[in-house]
Amino acid sequence: MAFEPLTYLYSPMKTVKGAGWFVFFLIIAISCVDTPDCFQLNNNLVQVAFKILGGASDQVPVIGIDAPGTDSVFYQYQKVSTVQLPLNPFENETTFNFHTFYNDNQMVLGYTYKIQFVSEECGERYIFSDLSIKSYDYDSVRFVGKTLTQPPSTNIEIYRCPRTNFTGVSFKKMSGTAKVQDTVLINAITPNFTAGITYPPGYYRSVDLPLNPNTATTSFTFEFGDGTTKVLTVGYTRSNWTKYQQFCGNKTLIYRLSISEQDFGPDKVKLALKGSTTQPADSIQDPPITNLEIFK
Amino acid sequence: MLVLPIFAQEADTIRSKYWPTGVRLGTDIFAIGRGFADVSLNGWEVNADVDLYRYYLAVDYGSWARALQSDTGNYSNNGNYWRAGVDVNFLLKDPDRNMFFIGARFGHSTFSEQLDVVTIDPVWGTQQGTYTNTNVNARWLELTSGLRVKMWKMIWMGYTIRYKFGLSHDATQAMEPHDVPGYGRTDKEAYWGFNYVVLVRIPFKNEKSVSLKK
């Protein structure tokens, strides 16, 4: 050790005294600002991202996500690409039931947690760690990380096979000469084949409708809240699509959409345009784009 | 043969240079004062150091207990701790042995704690629980700095600022410690501490024969 004496420090003890008081008040100041922030103390939110095989972000029309042990329903009637779900601080696992317009799925998550007293002002907090997926029934799930952070970051990615037969229908109305979004009350939408999808009664701005990949046309019966019933028949061209055949089996690509029949009235159903172009948006994409516009 | 006396003289000088001249014993009046100012805290600490030239071997021993109450629970802990380390004095030529030092410590604490809590979760409901950690061992490191000033004859006063870090413990899976006696709150990576000590210096017999000069 080769410390040299600090000669400037001990000649005038005033310097030492001054430095001492400075440091003393510095410590007092630090201790004063050392009060904890009571906001969002727990790291109990697990973040789940929805993806389509191939990597694109999915927009999932969620009816609701529920879990045994609580009456809460999360993300009710929302279109989401990520969700943040609270883990149960009284158990070492939480089961989430995902109800969407397309299907129902379940995922069981395991984890450990500790309780910690934070302060008299904030009370206690729960510290979650070692997240794991105990079971799931999705096409594919990627576990990104077991660490739960605050604010949350993605822990789990849920992948599904591309859907190649959903057409987006948007409800519009004219305001003067401008075309604006409309909201309509719908009691039911029924396709002319078994699609396994139900549309609960409610107000809709847009819907994604399934086209039958085994036929060249599909008809839909709209039962509106005002008591009227309208039928729309959509025609299209089909071809085989084998990109994810290994995981998803054979898929049918649908394009060149057209309006075969409709009883909404003249010019009441139109093919939508691609952005600001004059090109019709007449092919199916995933997530669905708006292919058709209905002026109720 | 002619150089031997010179070697012997140098050896005597080194031995006398590093020979301790006295021991200081004292207590932390800041810890006692906090106990009066804050009814939730009850603690004391005693301190000792011994000089080896510019180096001081320092030892602290203390105890504290806390009882805290929030809207949803009661927390309490109690335990003992010790610290040991070395301070380096930078006021080596001061005739009164006033001291400005920088040093390091190893800290160890053994404590128990209990939390009685009613957790009210907006999603998952309400649950009551009691969590305990018994005879937990905790360890940490400290960087220290401070002053020691001779006030009157054998009486010395001074303070120590502590930068505490590297806390580890063997607490149970159920509860993360909130407050480690001797260290403080555990929810931060590092923690500051402060002692204001009053010390009595007891000189050793041979003090007069030891030169303070380099």
Tell me which chain A residues have a C-beta less than 8 angstroms from the C-beta of B145. 23
Strand (E) or helix (H) holding A72? none
CB A172 within 8 A of CB A179: yes
SS3 A112: strand
Shortest alpha-carbon distance between residue B84 and chain A (Å): 19
| Closest by CA position to B69, among listed B113, B132, B116 | B116
CB contact under 8 A, B117 and A114: no
Confidence band, pLDDT 50/70/90 cuts, at residue B47: very high
From the list A31, A89, A116, which residue is nearest B124 (CB)?
A: A89
pLDDT digits (tens, 9 = 90+) for A245-267: 888 888 899 999 999 999 998 88
Question: Is the confidence at residue A48, as pLDDT, over 90?
Answer: yes
pLDDT bracket for residue A95 (50, 70, 90):
very high
Confidence class for position A291, pLDDT limits 50, 70, 90: very high
ipTM over 0.85: no
pLDDT of residue A15: 55
* Domain range list for chain A: 45-160, 166-295
pLDDT at B11 over 80: no
Q: Which tokens is A89 given?
A: 């601080």
Contact state of A116 with B69 under an 8 Å Cβ cutoff = no
Sign of CA dihedral A162, A166, A172, A177: positive
| Residue-wise pLDDT tens digits, B102-151 | 999 999 999 999 999 999 889 999 999 999 999 999 999 999 999 988 88
Indicate which of A111, A117, A128, A130 best probes the interface with B, i.e. most B CBs within 10 Å of its own CB.
A117
Closest approach of A6 to chain B, Cα-based (Å): 6
> Sorting pLDDT into bands at 50, 70 and 90, what band is B204?
confident
Q: Measuring CA to CA, how many Å separate A120 from each of A35, A37, A150, B39, B132? A: 10, 12, 21, 13, 18
What are the extents of the domains in chain B? 22-209
Q: What angle do CA B48, B50, B53 make, to 5 degrees?
A: 150
CA distance B156 to chain A (A): 15
Tell me the DSSP string of chain B. Answer: -TTHHHHHHHHHHHHHHTS--EEEEEEEHHHHHHHHH-TTEEEEEEEEEEEETTEEEEEEEEEEEEEEE-SSEEEEEEEEEEEEEEEEES-TT-TT--EEEEEEEEEEEEEEEEEEEEEEETTTEEEEEEEEEEEEEEEEEEEEEEEEEEEETTEEEEEEEEEEEEEEE---SSB--SEETTTEESSSSEEEEEEEEEEEEEE-GGGGGS----
For residue A147, the model assigns a pLDDT of 92
**CA distance to partner chain B, nearest, from residue A102 (Å):** 26
B69 touches chain A (CB under 8 A): yes
- In degrees, rounded to 5, the angle at the alpha carbon of residue A29 between the alpha carbons of residues A26 and A35 is 140
> CB contacts < 8 Å between A and B, how many?
108
Q: H-type helices in chain A, by residue range?
A: 7-10, 13-32, 245-248
Fold that domain B22-209 belongs to in CATH: Porin (2.40.160)
Give the nearest partner residue to A72 out of B98, B115, B123, using CB atoms: B123
Indicate whether A34 pLDDT > 60: no
Query: Looking at the complex, does the CB of residue B134 fall below 8 Å from at least one CB of chain A?
Result: no
Do residue B70 and residue A123 have CB atoms under 8 angstroms apart? yes
Nearest to A10 among B94, B145, B178 (CB): B94
